[in-house]
Amino acid sequence: MPHIAVMMYPGRSEETKKALAHKIQALIMEELKLPETAVSVSMFDIEKEAFPNAMLNIPQENIVVGQKPVPIDLNQEEIAEFL
């Protein structure tokens, strides 16, 4: 506890992702006063086209920072209703 999952577009090296994961882990450890063994981080590469639908799997009330995702299969009218 806790586990942080990071979803991003593909293209970053494993070294870059690992460095980011360690920085996130260190920040969480510091802010929550937790040992390293208590904080885990995972990285997921999600294709750009699939990203909006992948975000829909996260309950909106759990997204604390960032914008509400819009499903990619909606037309303009449906997007306006969704927002």
Structural domain boundaries, residue 54: 49-83
Residue 20 CA to residue 70 CA, distance in Å, equals: 26
Has residue 83 got a pLDDT over 60?
no
Q: What region does 11 belong to: left with phi over 0, alpha with psi -120 to 50, or beta? A: left
Same structural domain, 41 and 1: yes
Has residue 82 got a pLDDT over 60?
no
* pLDDT band, very low/low/confident/very high, at 73 (cuts 50, 70, 90): low
Q: pTM of the prediction?
A: 0.76
Residues in the chain, total: 83
Closest CA to 55 of 74, 73, 65, 69: 69
Same structural domain, 7 and 40: yes
Same structural domain, 57 and 40: no
Same structural domain, 56 and 76: yes
Same structural domain, 40 and 57: no
Number of domains in the chain: 2
Same structural domain, 40 and 2: yes
Q: What are 13-63's pLDDT values in tens digits?
A: 999 999 999 999 999 999 999 999 999 999 999 998 888 788 888 887 888
The phi and psi torsions of 52 (rounded to 5 degrees) equal: -60, -40
Same structural domain, 39 and 26: yes
